[in-house]
Structure 1
């Protein structure tokens, strides 16, 4: 009996999920029917949007939207200078790196690993 395995690809701007079973690999479509999902997480009105909905609101909600999380993974604080300039949301580098997000009048802090968890949950349908 053959097993089933999955692969999760995190790119600079997108994320996708594929399943391999019975000798065939299939890229799984997301809830919008697309085979790739924008690797974007937005925080608005006590709500967290992931993927296309977050990307579509990026222009009006840049300060509370995290993009390009892959770009900061594994970088030391000195390498963060360019990413901090390009990010719409505030990046804190005191201690460990984290995003500062204001949502519904409150300040929240998210590590890059927290953002990855939200992206992975979206891809796994949770």
Structure 2
């Protein structure tokens, strides 16, 4: 199996976003793809048959998955938050994706806690982030937040980046998530700004076989299976195939890696953000 070391980071990121966006094409709506990364996140859109990775306000195609809280109560996300880390490391949150869906006593969580500059506490058996220090406004002092809530702040930032770039309001996105959170209905927090639908891709999602740049578009119908969760979210199983025009977007040596990412997409949850 080809790994990311066989292609440069720029192409590797493109491959991940192509897999996301073409998965999103199963839906008859304009939709962005967000790669919620542990260290960096990126957002892409499919326009005029091309997948375009959207630059942030600094012109960068990746944005640090950092969230920071300042002494005046401001919340920083992305590059601004990362730059704030030397000033207040205990209130600058990063690598939080590693905590999503895990138990507090998970050996990986315990190992990470020794390296993280911010405080991680046990709440109902799960790892939560707690702000610390007296330099914060009273309402933020000792504030406790779930990893999902912090991740939602990063997602909101990526959504804003897309909206500013595209000049239109974005209501839905396909988002990568850690495999550990697949069975959790609390992947993302109950924020006042968004209501969330959880969508999981069917296991049959893959590129046409045999894998060929000249492969034709293959479409298959699949029954939509719906059920209600404790958060009144709708779970929908979808399926799509990749069009032959995809061959123009990546080099031939990356095809196997691209196939792998689309196969991995069957374990991803697509989170639909509907902004009220």
In proportion to residue count, which structure has more strand? 1
Output the aligned Cα RMSD: 1.7
Cα offsets for 1:31-79 (capped at 9, x unmatched): 1111100000001120110010111111221100111011111222222
Which of 159, 167, 170 is the aligned partner of 1:124? 159
**Which runs of 4 or more aligned residues in structure 1 lie more than 6 Å from their structure 2 counterparts after TM superposition?**
none
> 1:4, CA displacement in angstroms?
3.0
Cα distance in 2 between the residues matched to 1:108 and 1:11:
24
Q: What does 1:84-99 align with in structure 2 at a 5 Å threshold? A: 84-95=113-124, 96-99=126-129
- Does the 8 Å contact 1:43/1:49 carry over to 2? yes
> How high is the TM-score relative to the length of structure 2?
0.43
Cα distance in 1 between the residues matched to 2:91 and 2:50:
40
> How high is the TM-score relative to the length of structure 1?
0.90
Question: Do structure 1's residue 41 and structure 2's residue 41 form an aligned pair?
Answer: no
Structure 1, unaligned runs of 5 or more: none
Paired position in structure 2 for 1:82: 111
- Does the 8 Å contact 1:101/1:109 carry over to 2? yes
Paired position in structure 2 for 1:19: 45
Question: Do structure 1's residue 112 and structure 2's residue 141 form an aligned pair?
Answer: no
Cα offsets for 1:63-100 (capped at 9, x unmatched): 00111011111222222101111111100113132111
Paired position in structure 2 for 1:10: 36
Cα distance in 1 between the residues matched to 2:38 and 2:29:
30
Between structure 1 and structure 2, the one with the greater Rg is: 2
